[in-house]
Structure 1
């Protein structure tokens, strides 16, 4: 009787704590967290709102209504001015070429390095991984002069491939550090089974390791592309001519012009965001699957 009474009391309490539709009642802490999340979302969305609203204003409309008000009528003069003055299609092409090549090469090199370190079990693997970690800790400012002198000597200054080489090495260092720990925990049974079937190391890499680690490699590819697209200091230093500039460099150079107005600057920021936003939306599922792949066994 006592146990039955205890079970009945517990069930009654559980029913009381549930709201309609089977949802538990929210506690004050839950509402506080929800409010903090909403405030954080507003802080993130606010800059995008300002850029979007002011991109379709005329200078007179911006001066009279201010930055927060909606445009009285849509005006694309700022977008047209930025498009024509910086040759925006060419800048997008440069950024796409640099970011795409860097992402593919960095992932490939990271996979080869991590396979040798994590699965090949080379000697001194811990020290090698630490060296790759230290390479990521070096500030870009410390690399500018040595790299400038080196690329100037070999004739690659003001060449897209100079930036591609630099970012491929930098991103591959991070990718090697990350993948080495992943490949270090790779199931030995699968590798031994492939070896018993007569597979070479090259076949094990491409037919066993690569398909299993494809979600992680996809995440690295997406991050490498976005990180390289948003880089500013190194492209500004090594791409001096107007024809070789990337989108972030073109935006910064244009903002330094005294003849620029706020609406054209907002339009430049909007056009600079759109390509990465499209890229992120296209590969959103791939990114989600890659991040959650390691959480489910």
Structure 2
């Protein structure tokens, strides 16, 4: 008979015990998360609260019933679909064009190694540090002279330049570290500079470009001062401008104001959630070789 020997079972790996420092970090993260979520929760509660509920209970109490008149009133007053399309069109065009311009500028500075590369990159960096108030009067004079005042393309051109300045500064640093072996191999295969850019560099840099495009879209969507200055017609206004102008002219009640903020927030939130994976891939792309 064969003796049966019991083998000792492998011990189950135990997770590392949390230290006091871990609990402190976790508590700090929870506090920060609550601070971030709290304003959105207040907006959501007051968007579906009647003026009577707000007057009786204040901004932090739950509504006694589902009140949607505030959302309906704001939707009809500002013609929200029109403002939504204006914001989407401007932000989408700016995001695409700014990324294209950034890629071409960064290719010349980061890989083409043009003369005066460092001073040019510093110029792009300084362009992001200028306050928008400084740009208003020169841009106003230029757009009035060329007939683009009160035209969405005035805002598009302005933001393409502003956003691409940041994109150029960022991508020039990324392209400057691009492996030379890949570029030399493509050149030996007969690829020109234009083909190397769009067939080699852009596909490899797609995660970073995706992150830039998402940020450019959200930044442009939330812009207020320049659209307020150059889009004076009601038909050309964006969502943030429509919200502020309506509040100043007609003195909406608090619940309708909260409804307007909710409607202005939902598109960017949906856009962010759709492209959340793109952001995650872009941010972690350089962490794993």
TM-score when normalising by structure 1: 0.92
Task: Say whether 1:272 aligns with 2:261.
Answer: no
Name the count of aligned residue pairs.
279
User: Would you say 1:180 and 2:206 are equivalent positions?
Assistant: no
Residue equivalent to 2:123: 131
Query: 1:230 is matched with which residue?
Result: 222
Selected match of 1:65 from 42, 51, 57? 57
Task: Give unpaired runs (5+ residues) of structure 2.
Answer: 1-10
User: CA–CA distance in 1 between the matches of 2:110 and 2:130?
Assistant: 24
User: What is the CA distance between 1:21 and its match in structure 2?
Assistant: 6.9
Distance 1:117 1:109 in 2: 12
Correspondence 1:210 to 2:193? no
Are 1:41 and 2:33 matched, yes or no?
A: yes
Which position in structure 2 is the counterpart of 1:51?
43
Superposed CA RMSD in Å reads 1.2
Q: Which residue of 2 aligns with 1:81?
A: 73
**Residue number in structure 1 paired with 2:114:** 122
Structure 1: which 4+ aligned runs deviate by more than 3 Å?
Answer: none
Distance 1:291 1:47 in 2: 27
2:182 corresponds to: 190
Q: How many Å apart are 1:257 and its aligned residue?
A: 3.3
Counterpart CA distance in 2 for 1:157 and 1:228 is: 18
Aligned to 1:220: 212
Shift of the alpha carbon at 1:146?
Answer: 0.4
Structure 1: distance between partners of 2:114 and 2:220 = 30
Give the Cα separation in 1 of the matches to 2:106 and 2:250: 49
Give TM-score scaled by structure 2 length: 0.94
Q: Tell me which of 139, 152, 164 is aligned to 2:156.
A: 164
- Give CA-to-partner distance per residue, 1:36-90, whole Å, 9 cap, x none: 1111111111100100000001101111121111110000010001000011000
Cα distance between partner residues in 1 of 2:250 and 2:124: 43
- Which residue of structure 1 lines up, in the alignment, with residue 288 of structure 2? 296
Q: Which consecutive residues of structure 1, in runs of 5 or more, have no partner in the other structure? A: 1-14
Partner of 1:10: none
User: d(CA) in 2 for partners of 1:219 and 1:66?
Assistant: 40
1:7-26 matched pairs, under 5 angstroms: 22-26=14-18
Alpha-carbon distance in 2 for matches of 1:69, 1:201: 62
Matches of 2:207 and 2:25, distance apart in 1: 32
- Separation in 1, partners of 2:150, 2:251: 27
Distance in 2, matches of 1:179 and 1:216, equals 8
- For residue 256 of structure 1, give the secondary structure of its aligned residue in structure 2: helix
Q: Could you say which residue in structure 1 is the equivalent of 2:4?
A: none
